Chains A and B, each alone.
Chain A
């Protein structure tokens, strides 16, 4: 779990998103995921040890190449109220981005988006975050 979510009283640095210019949406084209989709509990946005393990792997792989850009996209199950689903998926994507920043990735090279249940990712679960490579 990112440190800023553990205790609201803790000092935390939240990095604003940089310009989205040049980023491609997974709705427009097929993008390659940087790792298997991170599956969340239906109503949860906290990162689990399994997520930490996967994100460590992404950080190790991506860190050496400073030009690698990632789009972190959150999705939510179809049974949730639509606006809550968007918020939940957005929060999940931002939690993943925050953890990757803490693991040393450049904040400027990561964008997030929450698709809620407006679109479904391929795969057995829709309560997921998918980290797409941009180049």
Chain B
């Protein structure tokens, strides 16, 4: 072996040793509760699909074409190609009186869908068309029609409000006598589950946003709060204490029956479902600060379930929420005495601090690219790909507990 070969082997061994040591150190930091080094969410390299906006006939066709271009550019899911550029897809159609018909074709001219949108406004119809284009091409839901619910004390009592994903169209949806808190949107955005104080006691109610009806889910003694829809919208997890102990329950919304899935001697809160509907992450304080726990949801009656602590390296963790792909959990923690929003890969990986300085209550966008949270009463949306964030609702009372449509 000549000197150059020996030096090369030595260099490889040292580099390899450094990588191993770094991994071990991160693991040790995790075990010791120090948290690992921060890292950004690594997404696999992907080539943006190239889409062309073809002609839109009809009286409002030109406006529709222009607005669709804006929506598709803002989605950051596509490269919007010019007339002479190579493309993967074309969207075209017509628009008369604000109504829109859209048609999506692939590069070979094969029609992927044709749909008509007849909501009262042109913008609303184009948002729906944009989301359909995104879903058909990427398989992920678009955000143009998604909604965020939150709580605000703007009216003097805490009530629930809803807005679109860029903070527009804010509407108050509850007018309960003593207030309403802890909202959760159903997967199709048609219903809100929330904790109502209308009777003077905290009970969970469902509000159908399309039809306007409302009904109680729990009217049990003690407290009921922290409701979260299962990914298929058929079940609701929540904290209830009628058995003399606060526990996580899963309610079947069709049969109105509930089953206890936790076994706590502490204070459980904030359940959130894994996208496969088989696990729930929640916060539980057994006297030494809230930590995160995961419980498997029994799929059959009498089936046993595993409950275990999921370590984050932080001593105070609340409001966990699973990402739409199940690969991450976002949560609120306390760092240097300040509320902080953090993300950790599931099941293993290093914690990434997303926003410190009082940020709380994270909630993922349906496509997993954004997180909404509150900071000092303002509602923010944080882009996980660029790291940029922007305030979407401010000066609207003290905003708390945002939830994005799942």
Question: Which A residues fall within an 8 A CB radius of B?
Answer: 4-5, 8, 14-20, 23-28, 43-46, 81-84, 86-88, 90-91, 94, 97-98, 111-116, 118-119
Contacts and interface: CB of A to CB of B under 8 A. Distances in A.
A94 B178 CA distance: 23
Given A18-B221, A27-B197, A113-B202, A87 B401 contact: no
Contacts, number: 132
Interface stretch (B25-33, B74-82, B120-128, B222-230): B222-230
B319 interface: yes
B35 interface: no
B225 A86 contact: yes
Interface in B167-182: 178-179, 181-182
B339 interface: yes
A91 B225 CA distance: 13
B158 interface: yes
Interface in B239-287: 239, 241-246, 265-270, 283, 285, 287
Contact of B239 (A24, A28, A87): A87
A94 B201 contact: no
A1 to B, nearest CB: 10
A115 B289 CA distance: 19
A23 B200 CA distance: 10
B45 to A, nearest CB: 37
Q: Is the interface of A mostly helix, strand, loop or mixed?
A: loop
Interface string B128-163: 000000000000000000000001000000100000
Interface residues of B, number: 44
Contacts of A112: 221-223, 241
Given A17-B221, A27-B178, A111-B221, A86 B226 contact: yes
B199 interface: yes
B201 A82 contact: no
B231 interface: no
A17 B178 contact: no
Interface-centre pick from B151, B179, B223, B268 (highest chain A CB count, 10 A):
B223
B375 interface: no
5 contacts: A14-B244, A81-B360, A83-B269, A111-B221, A116-B225
A87 B289 contact: no
Contacts of A115: 202
A15 B244 contact: yes
B285 to A, nearest CB: 6
A118 B194 CA distance: 13
Contact of B269 (A20, A84, A97, A98): A84
Given A17-B241, A25-B201, A43-B289, A90 B246 contact: yes
A133 B283 CA distance: 32
B318 A17 contact: no
Contacts of B400: 82
A59 B199 CA distance: 28
Given A90-B241, A112-B222, 6 more contacts: A14-B245, A43-B285, A44-B287, A83-B401, A91-B266, A118-B179
B167 to A, nearest CB: 21
Contact of A16 (B244, B290, B319, B360): B244
Shortest Cβ-Cβ A-B pairs, 10 listed: A25-B200, A87-B269, A17-B221, A87-B267, A91-B267, A14-B244, A83-B269, A20-B221, A81-B318, A84-B318
B332 interface: yes
Contacts of B220: 17
B242 A16 contact: yes
A14 B225 CA distance: 21
B244 A113 contact: no
Interface string B289-315: 110000000000000000000000000
A94 B221 contact: no
B114 to A, nearest CB: 44
Interface-centre pick from B197, B241, B242, B339 (highest chain A CB count, 10 A):
B241
B267 A84 contact: yes
B89 to A, nearest CB: 42
Contact of A86 (B200, B202, B289): B202
Contacts of A44: 287
B368 to A, nearest CB: 22
Contacts of A90: 222-223, 239, 241, 246, 267
B200 A28 contact: yes
B199 A88 contact: no
B247 to A, nearest CB: 10
A87 B268 contact: yes
B338 to A, nearest CB: 11
B313 to A, nearest CB: 18
B268 A17 contact: no
B285 A87 contact: yes
